[in-house]
Amino acid sequence: METAILVNLAYIASSILFIVGLKMLGSPDTATRGNFLSSSGMLLAVLITLLDQNIIDYRYIAGALVAGSIVGFFAATRVKMTSMPEMVAIFNGFGGIASLLVGSAEYVSGVFDNPAFLGAIFLTVLIGGLTFTGSIIAYGKLSETISGKPYLYKGQQFVNGLLLFAILLVGINMLFIQGLISSEQTLLLLIGLAFILGVLFVIPIGGADMPVVIALLNSFSGLAACAAGFVILNNVLIVAGALVGASGLILTNIMCKAMNRSLANVLFSGFGAAPDSSTESSQEQGEVKPINAEDAYLILEAASSVLIVPGYGMAVAQAQHTVRELGELLEENGTEVKYAIHPVAGRMPGHMNVLLAEANVSYDVLVEPEDVNPIMETVDVCMVIGANDVVNPDAKDNEGSPIYGMPIIEVDNSKTVFVLKRSMASGFAGIQNPLFFKSNTRMLFGDAKDMVSTLVSEFKG
Amino acid sequence: MESQIILLIFILVLSIFLGVELITKVPSTLHTPLMSGANAISGITLVGAILSSGSSEFITIALGTAAVFFASINVVGGYLVTNRMLSMFKKK
């Protein structure tokens, strides 16, 4: 009894550390300490759990803990910052499968006749399973081991409906009937269906919509832990799981708002799969005005304010360090340099911020679209580096455009726009961008990194 | 038993509201570390995994041990990578 009280007090302390830790993640000044507090909460919860008197054998626990920690350590210290979205995706998956296994272990070991427990196990296994396979598909799409294109097929809705119906039947059998098939068969069937659901859920979503998917899977991994908390009647799992669930849902919502689309539209529309009719009818496009690095240098040299707009292309070209170098040279030249970051630029929320932080860009020069759009007319040069859809003026001007209504960074209102781009190929969503044809736009064709380093050497030379 | 479940649901509801309040205040600059930090917290399922893998039945031990393995990757990797990212955020 004494230990039970001690354990529960420790769990309360852990919960407090998680909450304060998350609160401190709200500001870059305190975030590192916040993360430390949160990890101390985790350490405390794990250590106190090891005191549990029901634990008979510590060998397996110790072995698995050490093995998992080593894998986690190497993954965390080796991963490149550009690969962070894949990393978070696969970690979400591991959290999901762990919850699934906990739920399964409880199911096979215990005799439950209480539908509330069985319902909690059902949810743990279902959410954990779909988080696992969904995250693996997301990982594949982000690392481009599988195509980032949305995968759509005929009768998709019907298959999904059938799958959900089957899951419902298994759930009813598990909770209330229990006699139709054996409990082992029920569990295996449920795991199988949850795995299939995860695959079918992420497969139709395009690579550019991955920020939403990762945020959602993040939320699911928390909810799975939360459901596992109801299985083993443990309040720290419920508190921590609910915090993560809420955090993932908020990020999902922010991402959807930044694209002016509903969650349902992101999940089910297969955005960017088929070429939209409005893009095929080529409108008055005007002329593209290419410019070489020398002329670009002269314009930059004379500019008093420069706004850099990075996108996924910058990450692909690994150009963030060179971009920072250019930014510093511009500042030395007396130019005010800021970086405008769209919430959905990159492949996960805040992706660009991390890359620029890695390249030593001070975080106070990173600005959001709503800060910079009102003063856009005063900006001399906007440099769009590997971004496309987030600066597409069709989002405000063309009601027929698939991205109409999406908040953008209105670079076309600035005095001059430089677009660094490989070729005239359209962006991820397959939408033509009229920005390239505007009279104040100059195109710098080529690899983003090469182009920026040429500009850097122009400044130095 | 019912009263215990009701109490846990009560905790759940309050935690969700608390989570929403906390997270809406996080600036977009920190969304990636927030996500990986939250991800590490979801590894709390490790607590349940430890309890399962310490049991006496073979199948429970097997499932629990696998769960401990995956959850500890999630916890250790998640916190370390978050720390690595946060240490890069500097102001000049």
Give the domain range for residue B79: 2-86
Q: Select the more confidently predicted residue: A311 or A423.
A: A311
Percent of chain A topping pLDDT 70: 94
d(CA A99, CA A103): 6
Residue A429 reports pLDDT greater than 70: no
In the stretch 35-64 of chain B, residues with CB closer than 8 A to chain A read 35-57, 59-61, 63-64
What's the pLDDT score for residue A293?
A: 85
Residue ranges of chain A assigned to CATH 3.40.50.1220 = 278-460
- B8-56 pLDDT, tens digit per residue, is 999 999 999 999 999 988 888 899 999 999 999 999 999 999 988 887 7
Q: Distance (Å) from the C-alpha of residue A356 to the closest C-alpha of chain B?
A: 9
Count of residues making up chain A: 461
d(CA A447, CA A449): 6
Q: Which residue of B has its CA nearest to A340?
A: B29
- A5-37 pLDDT, tens digit per residue, is 888 899 999 999 999 999 999 898 899 999 999
Question: Active site includes A389?
Answer: yes
- A52-98 pLDDT, tens digit per residue, is 777 778 888 999 999 999 999 999 999 988 888 999 999 999 999 99
Those residues with Cβ within 8 angstroms of residue B13's Cβ, 6 or more apart along the chain or in another chain: none
Sheet strand arrangement including A366-367: A366-367, A336-340, A305-310, A381-385, A416-421, A441-445
d(CA A317, CA A211): 19
Residues of B in contact with A60 (CB under 8 A): 53-54, 61, 64-65, 68
- A161-212 pLDDT, tens digit per residue, is 899 999 998 888 888 877 777 788 889 999 999 999 999 989 888 877 888 8
Q: How many domains does chain B have?
A: 1
Residue A375 reports pLDDT greater than 70: yes
d(CA A69, CA A52): 21
| Band of residue A348 on the pLDDT scale cut at 50, 70, 90 | confident
What's the pLDDT score for residue A215?
A: 92
d(CA B90, CA B92): 6
**Type of residue at B78:** G
Looking at CATH, the fold of the domain delimited by A278-460 is given as Rossmann fold (3.40.50)
What's the pLDDT score for residue A281?
A: 39
Residue A148 reports pLDDT greater than 80: no
Q: Which residue has the tokens 């500097």?
A: B90
A309 - beta bridge partners? A384
Residue B91, chain A, CB below 8 Å: the answer is yes
DSSP string spanning A256-279?
A: HHHTT--HHHHHHS-TTSSPPHHH
Backbone angles phi, psi at A170, to 5 degrees: -60, -40
| Band of residue A282 on the pLDDT scale cut at 50, 70, 90 | very low
| Band of residue B67 on the pLDDT scale cut at 50, 70, 90 | very high
Going from the C-alpha of A48 to that of each of A243, A279, A369, the distances in angstroms are 21, 60, 46
A381 - beta bridge partners? A306, A416
CA neighbours within 13 Å on the CB side: how many for A27?
A: 4
pTM, two decimals, is: 0.88
Percent of chain A topping pLDDT 90: 42
Q: Which residue of B has its CA nearest to A75?
A: B77
The DSSP H or E segment spanning A338 is: strand A336-340
Mean pLDDT of chain A, nearest integer: 87
CA neighbours within 13 Å on the CB side: how many for A182?
A: 4
A326-334: average pLDDT: 91
What's the pLDDT score for residue B29?
A: 87
d(CA A349, CA A345): 8
In a domain, B20, yes or no: yes
| Band of residue A271 on the pLDDT scale cut at 50, 70, 90 | low
- A376-396 pLDDT, tens digit per residue, is 999 999 999 988 888 988 888
Q: Which residue has the tokens 């694209």?
A: A259
d(CA B71, CA B39): 11
DSSP percent split of chain A into helix, strand, coil, nearest 5: 65, 5, 30
Residue A100 reports pLDDT greater than 90: yes
Q: Select the more confidently predicted residue: A147 or A249.
A: A249
Contact A54 B52 (CB under 8 A): no
What's the pLDDT score for residue A190?
A: 93
The DSSP H or E segment spanning A195 is: helix A183-202
| Band of residue A433 on the pLDDT scale cut at 50, 70, 90 | confident
* Residues A171/A172/A174/A176 CA torsion (nearest 10 deg): 150
| Band of residue A110 on the pLDDT scale cut at 50, 70, 90 | confident
In a domain, B91, yes or no: no
B67-92: average pLDDT: 92
Of the listed A209, A276, A389, A394, which one is catalytic? A389
